[in-house]
Structure 1
Amino acid sequence: MDSPDVVFIVGPTGTGKTEAALNLRHSSSIEIINADSRQVYKWLSIGTAKPTLQQQSLVPHHLFDIIEPDGSFSIAQFLEIAREKITEILSRNITPVVVGGTGQYLWGLIEGWQIPAIPPNKTLRKNYEFFVNENGSEALYKKLLSIDPGARAIIDSSNTRRIIRALEVWEHTGVPFSTLRKQAPPSYRFQISGININRLDLYKRINDRLISMVENGWVAEIESLLSYGYTTKLPSFSSAGYREIASYIQGITTYEEALEKTKAATHRLVRAQDNWFKKSDSRIAWSENIEELCKRVNLKK
């Protein structure tokens, strides 16, 4: 097989994607592009498992820490910036390695989605947020599906932010969100890789990692965010664990309750990510561990 121009390392949180990407630097000149919708935020580092500064010093990293915690960042913005960065890296004869678990980001690049850049409508969002508070996210999801049945395949019923965004796009264009994903596949060769870990084993690994995150200062990270006036209503705080631990900091729950809720939220994230990256998808080369993945990626020398 010819060497890919671009490598994508995909899959659920906790499977070792970052380490695998960094290991590829021993085989070729690479630069890493983030495809995690939470790692784009500044100051959300420990809980999002963002590469450490030491790791980022090993090879150039892109699309990390580009948005303030109270900022908004759409898939259209991501695709525009990521495509420009891929083109720029390729122009220097270096291999871009795109790493993350956000399905819309990754498949948007791989399948060449063409999504219109529609600005956020704050009034409309507030109205839908009020609707959710009164009726629940499932009711809003049913409203979306009544307009856009195809959204079921690309938006999870528990992802209120994405449901609202799809409705926002429909309100702006009059066209269902799912039909706006026109495709113009990229011209470069690519390889998609992932690490296949048994779900129960992954849950245990994640639970152990959460303890390590707390020991490494995750609670202090969230305390700092709250002290600067960032609230738990922000999209950035929808990252698994941030609202749960903020509730502990604010005295609403105990530490034990916050930790259990964080575990549950992260397990839900794994299940949602598994739906984006199915083991039956023949486009993805699944490996059992990091070493096997790195051997199977045929990078140019």
Structure 2
Amino acid sequence: MMKEIILIVGPTGSGKTSLSLNLYGKLDSEIISADSMQIYKYMDIGTAKVSEKIREKIKHHMIDIVNPDDAFSVASFQKDTFKIIDNLIIKNKIPIVVGGTGLYINSLTYNLDFSNAKSDESIRNKLYYEYEENGKQFILNKLKKVDLDSYNTIEHNNIKRVIRAIEIYEITGVPYSKQNKDFRNENNNYNFKIYGLTDDRKLLYERINNRVDEMIKDGLFDEVKFLIDNYDNNSQSFKGIGYKEIIDYYNGIYSKNEAIEKLKQNSRKYAKRQLTWFRRDKRIKWFNLSEYKNNIAEISNKIYKEIKNGQI
């Protein structure tokens, strides 16, 4: 039985969703989101989810599965996603996984084992106390000293993951980034066909800025207001790009225009980190949108032909 999986990766705003929908029309499969923010209900505009209307016609998985104040781990993503993938393969369908969360993608394409994660509540509490007393930069500098790779790849506003990386180092004496011996051992249980979308940086950044403007028009400020009125404001999901900036506006830290500009800036920085992350994987076949004049359909046709001809 075939065990092929299509993965579509790349930075925010690069057209991954459009490509996945285009491929779906050719393959009659189902789509799995690999976006760590799209798992949350009611966080729609800021995470650029496909509309409910589209989801009624095209089956999407791993979207709207937990509340904004619920905990959800990459281990849970890995377990749930492989179950979905295996069910689709049984139906002789090629799963289409699309998303820009690097660790979520790696949890599928590499042999990452999350079953033996070590923890120590006393160490974790001490680190949170140091964070509260000394601020974010103090705890980031602490991570940088013991695990430069994690410092460079973990979102700096994701304090939970920053502290978790330090906790693991203090427990084991081994950096979090080196913990899993198989981190760069490829998962050979499936035939991954990995495609990346990118663009010339100036054009990508312009697209990101325009997308933020569209989010604002679509009601992002109202969406965030609903969330802070109904859910725990200390939830990890509230620290995601697209939400933390607007929350800071409601907390009086930024003006509305400052919050929007901060959101654009953070989105551009995130895109840069995503590209750095994905370019480590030499299996990815990249498509530069500028070279195809932003023609997603042409890229989709090329990928479809390669899949059908078994060229990749």
TM-score, normalised with respect to structure 1: 0.87
2:67 match: secondary structure: coil
* CA gap 1:133/1:199 in 2 versus in 1, 3 angstroms: farther
Equivalence map 1:147-296=2 (5 Å): 147-148=146-147, 151-152=150-151, 154-155=153-154, 159-170=158-169, 175-183=174-182, 185-231=187-233, 233-278=234-279, 281-287=281-287, 288=289, 289=294, 290-296=296-302
Structure 1 Cα separation of the partners of residues 237 and 109 of structure 2: 25
* CA gap 1:292/1:198 in 2 versus in 1, 3 angstroms: same
Q: Aligned-pair distance for 1:182?
A: 3.8
Structure 1 Cα separation of the partners of residues 219 and 119 of structure 2: 33
**Aligned residues of 2:39 and 2:65 also touching (Cα < 8 A):** yes
Equivalence map 1:92-103=2 (5 Å): 92-103=91-102
Structure 1 Cα separation of the partners of residues 122 and 206 of structure 2: 42
- Determine the structure 2 residue equivalent to 1:17: 16
- Determine the structure 2 residue equivalent to 1:53: 52
2:30 match: secondary structure: strand
Q: Aligned-pair distance for 1:89?
A: 1.2
Q: In the alignment, does 2:113 pair up with 1:114? A: yes
* CA gap 1:155/1:248 in 2 versus in 1, 3 angstroms: closer
Structure 2 Cα separation of the partners of residues 285 and 294 of structure 1: 13
Give a deviation string over 1:92-135, Cα, whole Å, max 9, x none: 11111111111111122112212236487776555433323433
1:213 match: secondary structure: helix
**Aligned residues of 1:7 and 1:98 also touching (Cα < 8 A):** yes
- Determine the structure 2 residue equivalent to 1:134: 133
Structure 2 Cα separation of the partners of residues 28 and 211 of structure 1: 33
Structure 2 Cα separation of the partners of residues 89 and 31 of structure 1: 8
2:95 match: secondary structure: strand
Name the amino acid aligned to 2:91: R
Give a deviation string over 1:37-66, Cα, whole Å, max 9, x none: 111111111001111112212321111111
Structure 2 Cα separation of the partners of residues 116 and 197 of structure 1: 37
Alpha-carbon RMSD across the aligned residues, in angstroms, is 2.6
Structure 2 Cα separation of the partners of residues 115 and 60 of structure 1: 28
Q: Aligned-pair distance for 1:169?
A: 3.6
Q: Aligned-pair distance for 1:81?
A: 1.4
- Of all paired residues, the percent bearing the same amino acid is 36
Structure 2 Cα separation of the partners of residues 249 and 156 of structure 1: 22
Give a deviation string over 1:236-255, Cα, whole Å, max 9, x none: 01211212112223444321
* CA gap 1:34/1:118 in 2 versus in 1, 3 angstroms: same
Compare 81-90 and 15-24 and name the one that shifted more: 81-90
Name the amino acid aligned to 2:62: L
- Determine the structure 2 residue equivalent to 1:74: 73
TM-score, normalised with respect to structure 2: 0.85
Q: Aligned-pair distance for 1:4?
A: 7.4
2:57 match: secondary structure: coil
Unaligned runs of 5+ residues in structure 2 are: none
Structure 2 Cα separation of the partners of residues 224 and 117 of structure 1: 38
Unaligned runs of 5+ residues in structure 1 are: none
Q: Aligned-pair distance for 1:202?
A: 1.3
**Aligned residues of 2:35 and 2:101 also touching (Cα < 8 A):** yes
**Aligned residues of 2:11 and 2:198 also touching (Cα < 8 A):** no
Compare 148-157 and 219-228 and name the one that shifted more: 148-157
2:107 match: secondary structure: helix
